[in-house]
Structure 1
Amino acid sequence: MAKFKGAIVVDTEKCKGCGICVAACPTGVIDLARDVNGKGYHYAYMANPDACIGCSSCGLVCPDTVITVYRVKAS
């Protein structure tokens, strides 16, 4: 079975920091940043990028659809 490496890109200016993606991530990759965006929200970011498996759970539960998930086959 092929192994996959994942990565997410968060539109930090549109993220409202609700934290649903943090709870949905099975590998604990996502956390809320200490910094805030232009609207004053703590946005989501990849706190542990090496653990991302590209499962898309975060993107599916995001109410604002600000998360894009990428998967690449690990060599």
Structure 2
Amino acid sequence: MKVSVKSERCKQCMLCFANCPKEAISYSEEFNSLGYRWAQIDDNKCIACGICYTMCPDGVFEILGKEE
């Protein structure tokens, strides 16, 4: 895992989705307690660039680093 997602913070604003250069973000089929589908990261596509972290107004993402 390169990026950790705090699903309860996600409000599905889609800023991360719209700005991910590798199209590594999708949304879950389930809903969090606020009624939103939360962001999910495809670890095979993710390059841990941090754009999702930077764009998110709700602190959903934590960058753990690149896996080797």
So what's the TM-score if we normalise by structure 2? 0.89
Long gaps (5+) in structure 1? 1-5
- Kindly report which structure 2 residues correspond to 1:1-75, keeping only aligned pairs within 5 A, or say none: 7-46=2-41, 48-72=42-66, 74=68
Larger radius of gyration: 1
Number of matched residues? Answer: 68
Question: Where do 4+ consecutive residues of structure 1 move more than 3 Å?
Answer: none
Residue identity over aligned pairs, in percent, reads 32
| RMSD of aligned Cα (Å) | 1.4
Partner of 1:3: none
8 A Cα contact 1:19 1:32, kept in partner? no
C-alpha displacement at 1:72, in angstroms? 3.0
Residue type of the alignment partner of 1:17: Q
So what's the TM-score if we normalise by structure 1? 0.81
Long gaps (5+) in structure 2? none
